């Protein structure tokens, strides 16, 4: 029983982290069409900012890092991407690849390759059905899931979200309706970047922070977006849950290296079988009309 509870808690914790990652990546990829291969480096930036600003209390530091993540996103979009959208997919991909290299090498030059540690604000544990589990992990998971839920509400249940989706669909029409496309696009990329930075900041007390720490998070985030149907943000969250379940289960019963190999093999096969993603919606059963009804005659 305790092993099952421990497994479920690990799945939930990893799901919170992956959902925040996949949601940020899904916003940038699904809404702007940019393959952000620097997403892992943005996670690393969030973790290192938490380390560098250690003199600031943890929770205010978290908010400060979030603001810095938004600023990083705006600068990246305006200085790097804004002139490349017209050149197509490959140009933006290579640009973000270059951004990732710059961030990684910059972190190595400033902080070195020795793993840095960030102290958790809470060291206590709670008893959950006989399993002692760190309270901070539960709080970090709760914050991540609340942020994702708030993001979904904004995008699908607010005028701001409507403006973002209208700009993505037709920038010219959005401009004619008084929506500033440049501001919306910059804000969308900044939000996706901030989600990645926040994920790294929340996860930093559970990591040995190095310049390469974000590299291992990029593939699971991309797989989550692809599994949940590209362009669907709720689908990205569902994909994050699938990846978290598979990753945790495999790491529980297999060696780390073997677990990684099996995980990515399963995910590749899954995407090959379902290239349009797995449907996360509940199926709706409909009664087929009778031939008489189709012809307009009473049965």
* Sequence spans of domains, the chain: 2-214
How much is the pLDDT for 288? Answer: 45
DSSP string, 178-206: T--HHHHHHHHHHHHHHHHHHHHHHHGGG
Q: How far apart are CA 53 and CA 152, in angstroms?
A: 30
Beta strands at 125-128 and 131-134: parallel, antiparallel or unpaired: antiparallel
Closest C-alpha to 24, from 264, 277, 218: 218
Sort 237 into a burial class: Cβ within 10 Å, 0-12 / 13-18 / 19+: buried
Can you read off the two tokens belonging to residue 204? 């930093």
pTM here?
Answer: 0.86
Between 170 and 237, residue with greater pLDDT: 237
Question: What is the tens place of the pLDDT at every residue in 215-256?
Answer: 888 888 888 888 876 667 888 898 899 889 988 888 888 888
Q: Which of 12-21, 140-149, 162-171, 270-279 has the lowest mean pLDDT?
A: 270-279
């Amino acid at each position: 029983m305790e092993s099952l509870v421990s497994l479920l808690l690990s799945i939930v914790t990893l799901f919170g982290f992956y959902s925040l990652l996949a949601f940020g990546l899904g916003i940038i990829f699904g809404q702007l069409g940019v393959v952000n291969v620097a997403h892992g480096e943005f996670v690393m930036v969030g973790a290192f900012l938490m380390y560098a600003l250690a003199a600031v209390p943890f929770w205010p530091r978290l908010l400060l890092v979030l603001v810095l993540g938004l600023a990083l996103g705006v600068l990246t979009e305006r200085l790097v991407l804004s002139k490349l959208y017209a050149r197509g997919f490959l140009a933006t991909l290579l640009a973000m690849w270059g951004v990732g290299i710059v961030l990684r090498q910059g972190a190595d030059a400033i902080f070195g390759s020795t793993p840095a540690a960030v102290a958790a604000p809470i060291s206590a544990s709670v008893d959950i059905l006989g399993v002692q589990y760190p309270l901070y992990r539960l709080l970090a998971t709760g914050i991540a899931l609340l942020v994702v839920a708030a993001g979904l509400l904004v995008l699908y249940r607010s005028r701001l979200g409507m403006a973002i989706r209208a700009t993505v669909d037709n920038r010219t029409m959005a401009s004619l309706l008084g929506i500033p496309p440049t501001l919306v696009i910059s804000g969308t990329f900044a939000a996706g970047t901030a989600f990645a930075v926040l994920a790294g900041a929340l996860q930093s007390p559970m990591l040995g922070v190095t310049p390469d720490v974000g590299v291992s998070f990029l593939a699971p985030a991309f797989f989550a977006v692809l599994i949940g149907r590209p362009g669907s943000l709720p689908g990205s969250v569902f994909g994050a849950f699938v990846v978290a379940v598979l990753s945790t289960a495999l790491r529980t019963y297999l060696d780390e290296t073997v677990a990684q190999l099996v995980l990515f093999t399963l995910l590749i096969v899954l995407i090959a079988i379902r290239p349009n993603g797995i449907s996360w919606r509940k199926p709706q059963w409909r009664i087929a009309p009778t031939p008489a009804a189709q012809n307009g005659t009473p049965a």
